Amino acid sequence: AYRAAWKLRPGDAQDAYLVAWSLEDMKRWQEAFDGYNAALALDSAHAKSIRGKGVTLYHLKRYAEALQQLNEALRRMPDDSFVLLHRALVLEKLDRLDEAMADLYRVIRTKPDQASRAYFAMMGIFEWRKMSAETLAATQIFLRYEPGNQSVLRDLPRKERNAQVQAAQGRVPTHMPLPPGQVARAAAPPAVVPVVAAPAPSAAKVTAGDTLQQKQAACQRGDFAACVRTGNAYEDGAGVQANPAT
């Protein structure tokens, strides 16, 4: 599929990258991996393709290779939050928990607007490791950022029970997450989310979110020409990174 879209601008590494990214959005990991390789065959220094290759290797459970690619991506894009979040997940899989936590704290320190994603990743890492007190603490901090997140709220009582059980069993927490105020230079989450009046409608104003939705819709229906076109517009206009939740 990526080759069909690649014909739009033969030999263009950015187009090949955008198609691979679209396949990644659809969780078609092997095809996305192949697409990133195609982009890198055209431009071996294409940093976002190196990053994407590392992400797809993580999802393909090739963790050592994923770490190599993400290290190289970070060398080219220092403090890229998407790289750091995924490298933390890879490091955890390689049983390097302290290094994984260091990456997540680095996101909180250098990219405060991405801190909620770092705490969400902590939740998943601690849950996977059955570290219930740490899971609960990370969840509580995350909810300071997203107090209306219903799926996390629904799961909160279970996490509280698990933490109580482990405490009764005498488990001592080893990696309690630091709140943002204790992470150097991190911005504390707002206590209350302000209610802002809706702006008056403007004529045909297109936001970055609109463009991303158009891109994702085009990819889902297999219209890779539109996928590449809107992907280029999204990156040019928004500079927003791919979604680390994938």
Burial of 205 (0-12, 13-18, 19+ CB in 10 A): exposed
- Strand runs (DSSP E) across 135-229, as ranges? none
Is this prediction's pTM over 0.85?
no
For the segment 185-199, the average pLDDT, to the nearest whole number, is 39
pLDDT at 181: 81
Q: Show the tokens assigned to 158.
A: 């279970």
Q: How far is CA 174 from CA 11, 103, 134, in A?
A: 51, 17, 8
Query: For residue range 41-83, what is the model confidence (pLDDT) as tens digits?
Result: 999 999 999 999 999 999 999 999 999 999 999 999 998 999 9
- When comparing pLDDT for 201 and 10, which is higher? 10
Query: Around Cβ 195, how many Cβ atoms within 10 Å?
Result: 5
